[in-house]
Amino acid sequence: MKIYRNKKAMEELRLIFRTMSNPTRMAIINFLNKKNIACFSDIRHEFNVNNNTAHYHLKKLITANLVKKNGKYSITDFGRKIATIFEDFDKEISKFNMVRK
């Protein structure tokens, strides 16, 4: 099987899937996609996580270029696109009952 994407692109794709495979990070992306901007304490309280856990997940999202921090946290344009893709994917999966219960 021939892969047509270059190695760097495959690494970036792997990073996105690894980052978005965590339910807390997925929820943070969806939260920021709706709210646009939030301070650290808003995020921490929304997801009922401690400081270390919130920092850990936000750092992963920033590394994947899905979230940016300028005093407060906001979703990037790329993060917004990824959030939309994952929402659409979720809708398609649910149509075919592909999610295991």
Given this model, what pLDDT does residue 7 score? 82
61, 25 Cβ separation under 8 angstroms: yes
Give the mean model confidence (pLDDT) for residues 65-89. Answer: 94
- Give the pLDDT confidence score for residue 6 in this predicted structure: 82
Report how many domains make up the chain: 1
We report the CATH number of the domain holding residue 74 as 1.10.10.10
Residue 2 lies in a domain: no
Handedness of CA 68, 73, 76, 79 (dihedral sign): positive
Nearest residue to 44 via CA among 31, 33, 62, 34: 31
The predicted structure's pLDDT at residue 9 = 82
What residues make up the domain containing 49? 7-95
pTM: 0.82
